[in-house]
Amino acid sequence: MPAQHLLTNEIRVPDRMKAWVLGGPDEIFLVDKPVPQPAAAEVLVRIDAVAICATDLEILRHGVPAMVEGGLPFHKNFTIGHEYMGTVVKLGPAVDEFGIGDRVTVEVHAGCGRCERCRQGMYTSCLNYGDVAKGHRANGFTTDGGFAEYAVNHVNTLVHVPDDMTDEEATLVVTAGTSMYGLDVLGGLIAGEGVVVTGPGPIGLLGVAVAKALGADPVILTGTRDTRLALGRKLGADHVINARRENPVAAVKRITGGRGVHFVVECPRRGSERHAPGDGPDEAEAVRRPADPHSHLSSRAAADRPQIRARANRRRDQGRGQAGAVMRPRAHPR
Ligand SMILES: [Zn+2]
Ligand SMILES: [Zn+2]
């Protein structure tokens, strides 16, 4: 609810809430739990929408990649869910970055802020991963997540949601951010540069939307499912190629007048990196412009356990895109 619709800056928060918690493998129960309290640099979020990620299903079945108190998350009254949004309803001490009533969406990780990785800004690879006492949180993975009425979030994991964005759309911010981060660490897309996205899963589709929003031209999506390719069209793909019907390398060369594109974003389904022509690294090399040796990144989406491999062979901006760097940022922890 937008702040202007509130009559006061107070929202009544109950002491107890409903929350889903893990039992054993493939067991999840709706229970009554205390509403958590925000500490310094934290707020309490009333959850208004939550997406179900394939990683949630993986945690439900296998426990990993969630890890609670140093072990599997089963039978620990643990609440999963990491793709959620909501309304700030309570502020921890000294919090002024957000106000009561703000619509916010969340990212998973709050690093400890004190280890070498966090100090380099690589907080998703925090060396104190899972150590709550040190300040690390990964809601839905090591600390309680969004399959509940309320959750506590560090202010660094929150972003404001514009009024014209729906609650449901706002739950996908991390998925979109994963694609955006990949393009950013390669040195940044310049409007008018071409992008090929292989694989129309959630990361690939949002890769299309992000590339288009950044001004990429053309944005070409390859895949094998027509329904997904049609969704890609809606999200901004200028061209879609069904790799079962057309050789994607030849198609990209045809579309670009033989020039190829500047960036290739690989988003194959887990275990099917080579499920179709055009989805492998060799094909990605083949459609990339020879003049742009920096421009190859992979999001092995792995059922939304994205792991972007960015090979930046050329430095475009000072301090970004180290020559020959291989980066493996993770939207979700492993
Ligand atoms: Zn997810
Ligand atoms: Zn850290």
Residue 276: inside a domain: yes
Same domain assignment for residues 109 and 197: no
Phi, psi of 60 (to 5 degrees): -55, -40
Burial track 177-200 (b if 16+ CB lie within 10 A, e otherwise): bbbbbbbbbbbebeeebbbbbbbb
Phi, psi (5° rounding) for residue 157?
Answer: -100, 10
pTM, whole model, 2 decimals? 0.78
The CA 13 to ligand 2 mean position distance, Å, reads: 31
Domain match, 192 and 101 both: no
| 166 & 282 share domain | no
From ligand 2's centre to the CA of 121, what distance in Å? 9
210 and 95 inside one domain: no
Distance CA 85, CA 183 (A): 25
Same domain, 91 and 221: no
Residue 292 and residue 198 in one domain: yes
DSSP 8-state secondary structure symbol assigned to residue 22: E
Question: How many Å apart are CA 319 and CA 216, to the nearest integer?
Answer: 23
Domain residues for 283? 176-302
pLDDT of residue 332: 54
What is the 94 CA–ligand 1 centroid distance (Å)? Answer: 30
Provide the 8-state DSSP code for 93: T
38 and 162 share a domain?
Answer: yes
- Ligand whose nearest atom lies closest to the CA of 331: 1
| C-alpha 54 – ligand 1 centre gap (Å) | 7
Residues 8 and 125 in one domain: yes
In 92-218, beta strands by DSSP E: 103-106, 109-110, 137-138, 150-154, 158-160, 195-198
Q: What's the gap in Å between 333 CA and the centre of ligand 2?
A: 13
- Are residues 161 and 32 part of one domain? yes
Q: Is omega for the bond preceding 290 within 30 degrees of 0, making it cis?
A: no
Ligand 1 center–CA 305 separation, angstroms: 7
* H helix or E strand, kind and range, residue 19: strand 16-22
pLDDT in tens, the chain (334 residues): 554 444 445 789 999 999 999 999 999 999 999 999 999 999 999 999 999 998 999 999 999 999 999 999 999 999 999 999 999 999 999 999 999 999 999 999 999 999 999 999 999 999 999 999 999 999 999 999 999 999 999 999 999 999 999 999 999 998 899 888 888 887 788 999 999 999 999 889 999 999 999 999 999 999 999 999 999 999 999 999 999 999 999 999 999 999 999 999 988 776 554 444 444 445 666 666 654 444 555 443 333 333 333 333 333 333 333 322 222 333 454 4
- Stated as kind and residue range, the H or E segment containing 89 is strand 83-91
| Residue 300, C-beta contacts closer than 8 angstroms, at least 6 positions apart | 266, 267, 268, 270, 273, 306, 307, 309
Q: Which one of the ligands is nearest to 114 CA?
A: 2
- pLDDT of 179 reads 87
Q: 5 alpha carbon to ligand 2 midpoint, in Å?
A: 38
Q: Quick check: helix, strand or coil at residue 42? A: strand
Q: Are residues 136 and 188 in the same domain?
A: no
Distance 53 CA to ligand 2 centre (A): 25
Domain with residue 124: its CATH number is 3.90.180.10
Amino acid symbol at 207: G
- Residue 277, preceding peptide bond in cis (omega within 30° of 0): no
Within-domain flag for 239: yes
CA distance 153 to 137: 8
Cβ neighbours, 10 Å, residue 10: 11
Distance CA 322, CA 120 (A): 14
Q: Same domain, yes or no, for 197 and 257? A: yes
Per the domain annotation, does 256 fall within a domain? yes
Residue 314 within any structural domain of the chain: no
User: What is the CA(82)–ligand 1 centre distance, in A?
Assistant: 6
- Residue 310: inside a domain: no
Ligand nearest to the CA of 140: 1
Nearest ligand to the CA atom of 203? 1
Ligand nearest to the CA of 202: 1
286 within domain boundaries: yes
Q: Cα of 108 to ligand 2 centre, how many Å?
A: 14
Measured between alpha carbons, how far is 128 from 133 in angstroms, rounded to an integer?
9
Q: Is residue 260 part of a domain?
A: yes
Domain containing residue 256: CATH number: 3.40.50.720
In a domain, 224, yes or no: yes
Closest ligand by atom to 54 CA: 1
For residue 115, report the distance from its CA to the centre of ligand 2, in Å: 4
84 CA → ligand 1 middle, Å: 10
Ligand nearest to the CA of 145: 1
Quote the number of domains for the chain.
2
* Same domain flag for 167 and 244: no
> How many angstroms is it from 134 CA to the middle of ligand 2?
8
